[in-house]
Amino acid sequence: MEQKSGEIDTQLLALNGLTFAPPSELSLASAHRLRVFPALRESYAAGTSGYIDLSVGSDMIDTQNSFIEFKIQVKTSDASDVKLPENGALSVFRETVVRDRAGAEIDRSQYHNVFIRDHLKTNCTFGTEPTMGSVTAPNATLVSDGINTVCVPLSWVNPFFSSPKLLPTNIIGSLRLEFILAPAIEALIMGDNESNATYEISNMNVWLDTYSMADSALRSMQMIASNSGLAYPWVSQHATVNTSDGTYANFVSLKSASRALGASLHISKSDDLVDWSKNSMSNEEFKVSSSQWSLGSMYMPVKRLDTNPAHFCNTLYSNDAFGHCREFACELTFAEFLASYGTLNTTLERSGVLDAQGSATSSSRPLICDVNWSTSEDRTTILFLAYQKVALCFASGSTVIKA
């Protein structure tokens, strides 16, 4: 356990040659960084499932500054190079589920590794190697038959942990993160002769930024949780997988959400998903000749998009509306968009000024993406619908989920 210090305050005081010790009664919380080893087993093989319990004695967790660290051991028949895809070590998580202490499902995320890859280019680092382990960069070569230490932000593993608000663990109680690991053919990029290669992860541990609340602040939180429930909002993603082999298709999301914020369509060549030498998370070369989104009888935008620059500009505008990727995302160029980041996107926000004022979707008011391609190929697409979810956490231990 290591207590954090206010580094910015310390630097400002040192710059001016000042010292200041704040009275303890003015402090609302004390911050600590915890490292826990909650894994069920020592190691997990590719394609298997498991879970970890996030149960700490602190009152709040800053999930955006918390991480999962583990080791990847690649097992190959020879010493050829093995690489991670462009979303780094996140590629191993095919599906994740968050449950509360009663076992009720809070959020289920499928293909979230693909969603993050489309909306957040992961050429960034977190922490320092002596304290948190190394972060394996996109396209980095792993050590064949060796141990590779990697680190993934907790907010990338499941959308539930991406909220800008602190997670009230003292009220919501212990959480269980269940996961299904992706097959090796999806999670890794290997040589053509590596059809029998696989991987396993081990030594899974979690770094958590935690806060212990002062008594006065804790009493106020408990009072709110007893009366109306303490609200914890986040943006979740619903995935719908489709296939198409012609030059025209329309893709439908029937997810019911009172506040749908936007959607994106990931487009891959089906052959690339079963090719060991290809990045399974990558989009195909952009070959969309025209596209149109519709929600019920409403079209977004009103005019059909029929040029590559129009699709590119619409993608930049729509991705910015998601807001979750601004801190780390680097600039997406037009050339990168055409090569492997070409997604179809739309925003469903009713206002560009007010946050989280999305449109309602339902089975009678579905979101539809109508696409024309310039070539006829066998394609696999994933339609991601981003929508607002809120967990009302009550002092009694119950959790009410609103979508």
The radius of gyration of the chain from alpha carbons, rounded to an integer in Å, stands at 22
185-231 tens-digit pLDDT: 888 888 765 567 788 998 888 888 888 877 777 777 778 888 888 88
Query: Which residue reads 């999930």 in tokens?
Result: 63
Cβ neighbours for 303, distance < 8 A, ≥ 6 positions apart: none
Maximum Cα–Cα distance across the chain? 70
Exposed/middle/buried for residue 186 (C-beta within 10 Å: 0-12, 13-18, 19+)? buried
Task: Specify whether the CB–CB gap between 340 and 283 falls below 8 A.
Answer: yes
Taking the C-alpha atoms of residue 336 and residue 345, their distance in angstroms, rounded to an integer, is 16
Residue 242 reports pLDDT greater than 60:
yes
Q: Which two tokens stand for residue 371?
A: 């696409």
What is the per-residue pLDDT for 340? Answer: 86
Q: What does the domain layout of the chain look like in residue ranges? A: 29-229, 234-390
Mean pLDDT of 147-172: 85
The pTM assigned to this predicted structure is 0.84
CA-to-CA dists, residue 102 to 105, 136, 227, 229, 395, angstroms: 9, 35, 20, 17, 14
Q: How confident is the model at residue 363 (pLDDT cuts 50, 70, 90)?
A: confident
Taking the C-alpha atoms of residue 153 and residue 116, their distance in angstroms, rounded to an integer, is 11
SS (H, E, C) 125-160: CCCCHHHHCCCCCCCCEECECCEEEEEEEHHHHCHH
CATH architecture designation of domain 29-229: Distorted Sandwich (2.70)
Topology of the domain comprising 234-390:
Jelly Rolls (2.60.120)
Q: Please report, for the chain, how many H helices and E strands are present, in that order.
A: 9, 22
Mean pLDDT of 79-105: 83
Taking the C-alpha atoms of residue 167 and residue 149, their distance in angstroms, rounded to an integer, is 27
What is the per-residue pLDDT for 22? Answer: 55
264-320 tens-digit pLDDT: 999 999 998 888 888 888 899 999 999 999 998 889 888 899 999 999 988 888 876
